Amino acid sequence: MASGAEAAAAGVAAMGISGGSEEWAEACPALRRNLQLLAPEEVQLAKTLLNEDQMHLFEHWPEPGVDDDKKKGFFGQVRRLNSSYPGGLASYIQNARKLLADSKAGKNPYDGFTPSVPSGEVLTFGDDNFLSLEAAGIKEACNAAFVLVAGGLGERLGYKGIKV
């Protein structure tokens, strides 16, 4: 039975990226030295990161045998991001670059949108309607989630009121 390292090496070889054809990892020696630790899916994710100019993520990786659990933990996070973001890891990185460039250029992603105060019902504390709605709200509160947006006014968006 093959060891975990042998199985990983076989998986990497099957993808045509080992045995002297690790050129894709040459720009990142620390990663290249650690390739035998990675499962085939992790090698693919590493290739994606390098293709997206994320070599800095591997620059300070120690030699194999040192902090291997942390390296595997890193790829666990990368795998979750890749599977949970629409379009995967590459789309996440590309979108982040676009958003940062737009922000640097002063582009407002909310241009063209006008905030408004939603319509609602005016209640008088203690009247029958208030008490009825309060009772219904208390009954349903266990099925609700509450989010309080922290901080600031909405003047950047052209709104003069507090953002709560």
How is 115-142 classified by DSSP, letter by letter? --PPP-----TTSHHHHHHHHHHHHHGG
pLDDT tens for 99-131 read: 999 999 999 888 888 888 889 889 999 999 999
Are the C-beta atoms of residues 56 and 79 closer than 8 Å to each other?
no
Are the C-beta atoms of residues 81 and 89 closer than 8 Å to each other?
yes
Coil, strand, or helix at residue 82? helix
Domain spans of the chain, in order of start: 4-104
pLDDT of residue 110: 87
Are the C-beta atoms of residues 12 and 18 closer than 8 Å to each other?
yes
pLDDT tens for 21-80 read: 568 888 899 999 999 999 999 999 999 999 999 999 999 999 999 999 999 999 999 999
Tokens linked to 25? 């990892």
**Beta bridge pairs of residue 153:** 162
Indicate the DSSP class of residue 85. Answer: S
